[in-house]
Amino acid sequence: MGLKIERKEQPLNTAVGDEMQSLCGRISDELYMNVRLPLKLARTVLSDQQGQYFIEESAGECLTDMAFIADGYGNAYNRNEIIVENVREAYDALDKIIGRLNDFNQRLQRSWEVQS
């Protein structure tokens, strides 16, 4: 699924160069918002979860041990769901970006073939 762009000796025309710059700018923004940020949030949730003690009080009294454990597992499950969803969003965003780069690469190769 890698992107392979072969170098050609032909110079890029202005329209292709402008399109490439625009695409790179949009992808840079998307990498931050749709990939890096969700992964950073997933990492934050994971680090918050490590060593976390689930302590709650109800009307000034501690919960029973069983309720305490069940509540802790519930919180851990919710945090794990957040992590999984953030990683899934990042993966989907990367997949779309790679697809757009592949499409652009194919168009670029076709234009080089026409120019030859």
Question: What does the mean pLDDT of the chain come to?
Answer: 74
For the stretch 97-112, pLDDT in tens is 999 999 988 988 888 7
For the stretch 47-57, pLDDT in tens is 765 555 444 44
> Is 60 among the domain residues?
yes
Q: What is the average per-residue pLDDT within 23-41?
A: 86
CA distance linking residue 51 with residue 100, whole number of Å? 41
> Is 3 among the domain residues?
no
Q: What is the average per-residue pLDDT within 3-20?
A: 63
Q: Count of domains in the chain? A: 1
> Is 75 among the domain residues?
yes
Query: Do 35 and 93 touch, CB atoms closer than 8 A?
Result: yes
Q: Which residue has the higher pLDDT, 112 or 59?
A: 112
Q: Which amino acid is at 34?
A: N
Q: What is the SS3 string spanning 46-61?
A: HHHHCCCCCCCEECCE
Entry pTM: 0.59
Query: Could you tell me the residue range of the domain that residue 65 belongs to?
Result: 39-115
Determine if residue 53 is left, alpha or beta; phi over 0 gives left, psi from -120 to 50 gives alpha, anything else beta: beta
pLDDT at 56: 46
> Is 29 among the domain residues?
no
Radius of gyration from C-alpha coordinates of the chain = 24
